[in-house]
Amino acid sequence: MLEVEMDTKNLEFLEGMLKEAPEKVPQAMQKTMRRVGSYMKTTATTEITKKYTAFRGDVSKAVKVARGSGIEAGIDVVGPRISMYDFKTTANGGIVAEIIKGKPHAFQNHTYFKAKINKGANREGIYKRKGKARFPVKKAMGPSVPQMAQNEEVRERIETKVVDNFQDKMINEVVKVILK
């Protein structure tokens, strides 16, 4: 979980700035944190899909805004591993999967294949044979969204953008609350 918390020193500083309306500071902080939480979700989804070829909708479903006490904002990234088929894959003479953008990986042996098994259950995907026999087969899986979010490069970009944006959102909400 990625979190941004307001320090009580910052609350006292805001109250000092807003001596004419100190009772409105907590309301402004709650609105700011709600907006920061939404921004964190959007930023996390964008940064993950910039690095990985997973579908944006799948990533967005896995990123949840965590609701806190009002003076903290965060996101929870949850979900199972994603099928290899749901990444950028091609099957021309062999399976080539591109999980990280710009880094395709070719599966040269013929134990991997693209197929639709159990048509009614929508089990289209990349499969691997477990032996020489036709069956059993195992579905090839890529990383989960939480694993993608834990990538150091992705995590740093999310944190940098959120911290840069936090101050602007705080000032905007304080001004909105005071002008009401």
Domain of 100 in residue numbering reads as 82-142
Shared domain for 11 and 71, answered yes or no, is yes
Shared domain for 74 and 25, answered yes or no, is yes
Query: pLDDT band at residue 146, thresholds of 50, 70 and 90?
Result: very high
Shared domain for 32 and 74, answered yes or no, is yes
Res 119: pLDDT: 61
Shared domain for 74 and 15, answered yes or no, is yes
Query: pLDDT band at residue 61, thresholds of 50, 70 and 90?
Result: very high
Between the alpha carbon of residue 113 and those of residues 85, 105, 120, 167, the distances in Å are 11, 14, 19, 50
Token pair recorded at residue 42: 């959007």
Mention every residue, 6+ apart, whose C-beta is less than 8 A from residue 13: none
Shared domain for 86 and 75, answered yes or no, is no
Shared domain for 74 and 93, answered yes or no, is no
Shared domain for 72 and 154, answered yes or no, is yes
Q: What's the average model confidence in pLDDT over 48-62?
A: 96
**Contact predicate 115/125, CB 8 Å:** yes
Higher pLDDT, 92 or 157: 157
Q: What's the average model confidence in pLDDT over 160-176?
A: 80
Shared domain for 86 and 7, answered yes or no, is no
Res 166: pLDDT: 81
pLDDT at 74 exceeding the cut of 90 = no
Question: Which letter, b or e, does each residue of 107-146 get, where b requires 16 or more Cβ atoms within 10 Å of its Cβ?
Answer: beeeebbeeeeeeeeeeebbbebeeeeeeebeebebbbbb
Q: What's the average model confidence in pLDDT over 155-170?
A: 85
pLDDT at 149 exceeding the cut of 90 = yes
Res 135: pLDDT: 83
Q: How many domains does the chain have?
A: 2
Shared domain for 110 and 170, answered yes or no, is no
